[in-house]
Amino acid sequence: MPDHDHALPKKERLILDLLVSADHPLFGLELVRVSNGSLKRGTVYATLARMQAKGLVTSQQEELPDGAIGLPRRMFRPTPLGKRVLRAWVVLARELALGVR
Amino acid sequence: MRFERKRVTGQPGTFFLRAARLVFSEATLDSVLSPAVADFRTEWHEAEGRRLLRFAVRCRWYWSLAILTIVAPRIGAATGDRPLLAAVPNRTGGWFLLLLAMSFYAATWRLFGGFAFASAAIGSMLALALRRWHTRHPPLAAGQGVPLTERTPEINLSSIHVGGDIAGLMFAVGSAAIVIVGLPGLSWFFAAGAVTSVAVAWGRFACLGRGGPIVQNSISPR
C-alpha cells in the first residue's frame, strides 16, 4: 500500500468528524449541507469513495420506502478504523498544539 | 439534521447516467455517480413548485456532475476499479498515444476533411462500445491477469487479434463503417461482403456442427 494511503487530508478528516458526530448514517448531500460549504457536491462522493477504499468509512444503499421511485441513496458511516484514525489525529493535533506553546 | 426521503417523480440526470454507463464501470457508477444523481433528484424534488430554485438546482448539479466526470477516472484508479479513461493516463505511454492521434488528425484535417472527423467520432464510439463489452463481461475480457494500466497501447492495427465473438463483430462493423465514411463508393462492396460472409459463416456453422465451445473474447494487443 502506498504511503499516501496513511495520510488523512483535511476533507477526509472533516467527513470523518461529521460522520462520527452524527447519530445516524449520512449521505453525500447531507454531508455537504452540514459542512457549511467546506464540502462540494461535485467532489464529496469522490472523497467518500477514496475513504471507503482506505477502509475509513463503509456504505450501503438505503432501502426505498414503499411507493418511492428513483435511485436509492448511499448512506455512509465511519468504520472502527476510521474512528480510531480520527481519535489519533485529534490527540496528535492536541499534542502538537501543546508542543508549540 | 435529518432529511426525509420523498417520492421522486421527475428523473433529472437520466441522460447523464445513460451516458456514464458507456464510459464508466459498474463499480464507479454504483459508488460515485448513481449516489450523486440520487442526491440531485432529492434536491430537485425538494424545490418542487419553485421554478427558479429548480433551475438553480439543475445548474448547480450539472456543474457538479461535470466535475465528477472529470475526477471519477482518478477515483477508479485509487480504488482498484478500471474505468475506460483509466487506460489513457497510464505509465505505458497512453498520453503520448493520445497526443500522437490528435496530432495526426490535426495534420491531416485539411487533406481528409470530414472523413477525419467522422473516423474520430466512429472510432471513439467503437472504443466505448468495446470497452463497455469488456467491462460487462469480465470473464471473457481480453488480457486476463494483466492490469489495464500495464497494457501497452497499440497503434498498429495488424497487431490486434480479433476473435470470433460479439466484440470481434463490433470491431469489424466499426472498422467497415469508418472505411465506408471515407470511401462511400465502396459501400456496395461491404454490403456484398457482409452478405457473403454471413452465408459462409452459416455454412461453416452448419458443417462443423453446433454445440462447440464458444470462442473467447480475444481482442487484445499482442
Specify the pLDDT at position A76: 94
Q: Determine the residue among A45, A59, A61, A64 to mutate to test chain B binding: the one whose Cβ has the most chain B Cβ atoms within 10 Å.
A: A45
Are the CB atoms for B38 and A73 separated by under 8 Å? yes
Decide if B18 touches A, using CB distance below 8 A: no
Is pLDDT above 60 for B145?
no
- What are the mean pLDDT values of chain A's consecutive 10-residue runs (101 residues total)? 61 92 90 89 88 90 75 90 90 80 63
Whether the model pTM is above 0.80? no
**Lookup result for grid cell 480475444:** B218
pLDDT of residue B180: 85
Closest CA to A59 of A42, A43, A72: A72
Mean pLDDT of chain B: 73
Q: C-alpha cell of B5? A: 426521503
Rounded CA separation A47/A56 (Å): 11
Mean pLDDT of B157-177: 72
Percent above pLDDT 70 for chain B:
65
Q: How many CB pairs under 8 A join A and B?
A: 91
- For this complex, say whether ipTM is above 0.90: no
Taking the Cβ of residue B152 and every Cβ of chain A, the question of whether any pair is shorter than 8 Å is answered with no
Selected residue with higher pLDDT from B141 and B50: B50
Q: With an 8 Å Cβ cutoff, are B71 and A34 in contact?
A: no
Q: Do A59 and B43 touch (CB under 8 A)?
A: no
**pLDDT-derived band of residue B222, with 50, 70 and 90 as boundaries?**
very low
Pick among B2, B75, B81 to test the A interface (most A CBs inside 10 A): B75
Please tell me the distance from the alpha carbon of residue B117 to that of residue B108, in angstroms, as a whole number.
10
CB of A58 within 8 Å of a chain B CB? The answer is: no
- Are β-strands A57-61 and B220-221 bridged in parallel, bridged antiparallel, or unpaired? unpaired
Q: What is the CA angle B20-B25-B30, rounded to 5?
A: 80
pLDDT for residue A58: 93
- What lies within 8 Å, CB to CB, of A17 at 6+ separation is A86
Number of residues that this document lists for chain B: 222
Do residues B183 and B124 lie in contact, with contact meaning Cβ atoms separated by under 8 Å? no
The region that residue A55 occupies, defined by phi over 0 for left and psi between -120 and 50 for alpha, beta otherwise, is: left
Looking at residue A79, what is its pLDDT?
Answer: 93
Q: List the single range of B77-86, B112-121, B183-192 with lowest mean pLDDT.
A: B77-86
CA distance B38 to B45: 11
**pLDDT higher than 80, residue B143:** no
The nearest CA of chain A is from the CA of B45 a distance in Å of 11
